[in-house]
């Protein structure tokens, strides 16, 4: 059954990006270099659609411009971008949504074809958690302490109780799944 999943790589001290939205996890390695390729492919295969915050989109665009191929997630399904502003370069593969987060999640979930909807962006994930729209959290704990940066969740996310589902070593990361208690 389709689930709404917040899927993140995160430093051990709770940051999903470093200062200035840096996605440097160490040694110049991309995320795909840290995670077992089979796990990476299995999670991508279980994903039917993505709902992406504008800052996440802009960081991805910047990384691609600086180093083509650096955004290398093996996903090719429908993408929905939450933003109040048009893209400088319109992308036919992405649909722009704006407004109520519940409506956005429902629209993206309907396009996921029975697979999971992945939520990308701390602000967007926070809105989804606050509204009780998230079913599962999947975290790849990266072997680094970043000290500063973008936190997993914003301060306006209130207490959310989780049920542990699994914890496994995947490459150089620890992959942890939680179900959100509702
Ligand atoms: N480590 C990981 O696995 C991972 C995964 C994803 C992202 N990240 C990182 O997380 C950072 C981005 O997260 P973030 O919290 O800063 O931002 P975000 O959630 O990606 O984007 C927030 C922006 O999305 C737009 N937005 C959000 N809700 C909206 C709504 N309901 N209607 C219309 N527009 C809406 C707004 O942009 P506008 O008003 O400007 O349009 C808002 O400022 C980046 O550094 C990214 O690299 C890390």
Q: What is the pLDDT of residue 91?
A: 87
| Cβ neighbours of residue 113 closer than 8 Å, sequence gap 6 or more | 48, 49, 77
Rounded alpha-carbon distances, angstroms, from residue 120 to 53, 79, 166, 169: 6, 11, 21, 23
Q: What is the distance between the alpha carbons of residues 118 and 128, in angstroms, rounded to a whole number?
A: 11
Q: What is the distance between the alpha carbons of residues 102 and 16, in angstroms, rounded to a whole number?
A: 24
* Per-residue pLDDT of the chain in tens (182 residues, 90 and over written 9): 899 999 999 999 999 999 999 999 998 888 889 999 999 999 999 999 999 999 999 999 998 888 877 776 778 899 999 999 999 888 888 999 999 999 999 999 999 999 999 999 999 999 999 999 999 999 999 999 999 999 998 888 889 999 999 999 999 999 999 999 99
Any atom of ligand 1 within 6 Å of the Cβ of 102 = no
Q: Which of 141, 86, 101 is nearest to 4 (CA)?
A: 101
Any atom of ligand 1 within 6 Å of the Cβ of 173 = no
CB–CB of 94/78 below 8 Å? no
The residue whose C-alpha atom lies closest to atom 45 belonging to ligand 1 is 21
- The CA angle 74-57-113, to the nearest 5 degrees, is 50
Any atom of ligand 1 within 6 Å of the Cβ of 121 = yes
Give the position of tokens 């997630």.
73
Q: Which atom of ligand 1 is nearest to the CA of 122?
A: 15
**How far is ligand 1, taken at its centre, from the CA of residue 124, in Å?**
6
**pTM of model > 0.85:** yes
**How far is ligand 1, taken at its centre, from the CA of residue 120, in Å?**
7
- The CA angle 20-25-27, to the nearest 5 degrees, is 115
CB–CB of 165/178 below 8 Å? yes
**How far is ligand 1, taken at its centre, from the CA of residue 76, in Å?**
20
Tell which one of 123, 144, 156 to mutate to probe ligand 1, the residue whose CB is within 8 A of the most ligand atoms.
Answer: 123
């Amino acid at each position: 059954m389709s689930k709404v999943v917040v899927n993140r790589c995160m430093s051990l001290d709770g940051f999903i990006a470093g200062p200035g939205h840096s996605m440097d996890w160490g040694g110049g390695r991309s995320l795909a270099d840290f995670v077992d390729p089979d796990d990476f492919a299995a999670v991508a295969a279980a994903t039917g659609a993505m709902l992406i915050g504008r800052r996440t989109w802009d960081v991805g665009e910047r990384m691609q411009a600086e180093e083509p191929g650096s955004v290398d997630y093996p996903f090719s399904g429908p993408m929905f971008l939450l933003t109040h502003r048009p893209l400088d370069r319109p992308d036919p593969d992405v649909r722009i949504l704006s407004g109520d987060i519940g409506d956005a999640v429902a629209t993206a979930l309907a396009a996921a074809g029975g697979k999971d909807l992945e939520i990308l962006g701390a602000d967007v994930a926070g809105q989804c958690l606050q509204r009780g729209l998230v079913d599962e959290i999947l975290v790849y704990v990266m072997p680094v302490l970043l000290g500063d940066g973008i936190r997993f969740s914003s301060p306006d996310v209130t207490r959310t109780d989780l049920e542990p589902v699994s914890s496994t070593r995947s490459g150089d990361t620890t992959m942890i799944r939680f179900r959100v208690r509702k």
